[in-house]
Amino acid sequence: MVAIKCPRCEQIWHSNDADYGLVRLCDRCEDALRKNRREPGFTFDAFVAVTAGFFAVDVILIISSRFWPESVGLVMLIYGFVLMIPGLRVLRGVVGFQHAGDADWSIGRWPLMIALMGLACVLAYIPIVLHRHVH
C-alpha cells in the first residue's frame, strides 16, 4: 500500500499501485470530475435560441421582400441597419482594439451575431434594388 495525497481535496488515500512521482487524484475526485465533464456536442442554450429567432425573422423578411419589394424591402433594410450598426459598435466596445484571440467571445459572440444578422438583411436588399431597376 502506498499513501498518496490528493492534490484536489488534499486528503491522504491509499493505493495498491506504486506510481511514484505521478500526481494522482483520489477516487472521489476522479468520479466528481468525470461526472461534471461537459459532453462534447451541441447544447441548446440561450445564444442558440436567440440566434434561431433572429435567423427566422431574417428568412421571413428576405422571402417576403422578394414578393413585396417596395414595402417589405425597405422594412428589411431599416431592420438590417438597426441590428448591424449597434451590433458593430457594441462589438468594438467588447473586443476593443486588442487581438481577436484575446477577446472574451462568450460575451463578444452576442453583438457579432446581431451585427451579422443585420448584415444579411442589408446584403439581401441589394439584389432587390438591382432587380427593381433592371425591370
pLDDT digits 0-9 by tens, 89-118:
999 888 877 676 777 888 899 999 999 999
Q: Does residue 30 have a pLDDT over 90?
A: no
pLDDT at 23 over 70: no
Residues 31 and 89 in one domain: no
Q: What is the pLDDT of residue 34?
A: 75
Burial class (CB in 10 A: 0-12, 13-18, 19+), 39: exposed
Size of the chain, expressed as the number of residues it contains: 135
| 12 found inside a domain | yes
Residue 41 lies in a domain: no
Around Cβ 107, how many Cβ atoms within 10 Å? 13
Does 21 share its domain with 64? no
**CA atoms lying within 13 Å on the CB side of residue 46:** 4
Cell reading at 54: 433572429
State how many domains the chain has: 2
Confidence of residue 6 (pLDDT cuts 50, 70, 90): confident
DSSP assignment of 33-62 = HHHHSPPSS----HHHHHHHHHHHHHHHHH
Lowest-pLDDT range of 6-10, 34-38, 83-87: 34-38
Most confidently modeled range among 1-5, 29-33, 99-103, 112-116: 112-116
Query: Does 112 share its domain with 67?
Result: yes
Burial label, 119 (beta-carbon count in 10 A; 0-12, 13-18, 19+): middle
Distance CA 33, CA 15 (A): 19
Please report which confidence band the pLDDT of residue 25 belongs to, taking 50, 70 and 90 as the band edges: confident
Name the maximum alpha-carbon separation found in the chain.
Answer: 87
pLDDT of residue 18: 62
Domain hosting 14: range is 2-36
What is the average pLDDT score of the chain? 84
When pLDDT is averaged across residues 1-12 and rounded to a whole number, the result is: 77
Q: How far apart are CA 101 and CA 3, in angstroms?
A: 43
